[in-house]
Structure 1
Amino acid sequence: MPSIQACLFDLDGVIVDTAQFHYIAWREMAQDLGFDLTREENERLKGISRMESLEIVLSIGGVELSEEEKARRAAAKNTRYLELCMQMTPDDALPGVRRFLDELKANNISTGLGSASKNAQVILERIDMLHYFDTIVDGNRITKGKPDPQVFLMGAADLNVPPAQCAVFEDAVAGIESAKAAGMLAVGIGEASVLTQADIVIPGFENFGLPQLENI
């Protein structure tokens, strides 16, 4: 395996845990429509776009809406999500991630964010981590969601690093599939039993550093 020259990170569940905020906002919308959304059902929404998530939530509740009402509901959900995100502070960055990014910078390894979120920049500003990333590829730039490799291929192109020399950090199955489709090393954050296609799965960044990455 060629040495790693760039690391690309998903946002939710990797840099910061905003999943809880997504769940609260989607569940409130579901309850407003007359049904509940369980945490297990919410797992299906990880790593995919807002409109795709909305379609899944509506299918769970057996609810049909007009395209106009879907757009209104999606916008309202996002407004609620951002209200919750505005409560975030630098302490909300996941354990060990800031130290790992410092280590990458110290070793001249480029860093990029690859997320379906359209709010990535706002969230990074709230947790004071925007300066860590050499490029941000988010929902405002991509035309194809994960598992399509577009988001990570754009990140590699921005950083001028061949895909084979990029490592991706992801907590969602769709994100791991996206990384593999891009021809990149895939590091899963979470459970090995779920992220079965990852090259390695770690629980988080607390006991993970550059030596471990280079040994994969």
Structure 2
Amino acid sequence: MTSRAQLSPDHILACVLAGGQSRRMGGGDKTLLDIGSKPMLTYILERLRPQTNQIVLNANGDPERFTQYDLPVVSDTIDGFAGPLAGILAGLTYARTHCPDVTHVVSVAGDTPFFPQDLIARLTAPIPDKKPVIALATSHERLHPVFGLWPVELLDDLERWLASGKSGKVLAWVDRHDSIEVAFPDDPETGLDPFFNANRPEDLDVARSALEKASA
């Protein structure tokens, strides 16, 4: 499989997935909870903005609560909180509608503040030139399907998949297509798995401790 020259940032849209119901955190927008001195979403965007020129936020409900971030907010187009695939579909749909030069969407979880600062460069590097291929992140031999590179070319297939009531699990749909895995080391600043996610209140404490250690 021959790789293309690395995709230009102009061809990539990053989509932060914050459309879940945060049940294990007690509901609400966990991405807006403070870790350290700032909301988790602020840390996420500080890592993401140097990597790409275009970012959207996938979130449901009133978009006004994210006004301070000055980002387009796109809601799921599939009813019923269909999970990360619904957010990925929302990002792909936005790209096709508003960003004609974008060929790929990179998804980033809204509860993972220490994801790699070279995430996009490394996900895009091995993508072949001739066919749509999905790239998924791994660490410690574990797959993280919410962190992926998604060809806009696959939008229609994903839309049909979800509209027909098929599984909302990311890997169930990924298995229909060619995909590759890209391994990442631990975050050098915090020492944590780069895809550590804050699902529960105690995870926020871990994130805060890691930030304190990194800034000491």
Question: TM-score of the superposition, structure 2-length normalised?
Answer: 0.39
User: Which has the larger Rg?
Assistant: 1
Could you say which structure has the higher helix fraction?
1
Could you say which structure has the higher strand fraction?
2
Question: TM-score of the superposition, structure 1-length normalised?
Answer: 0.39
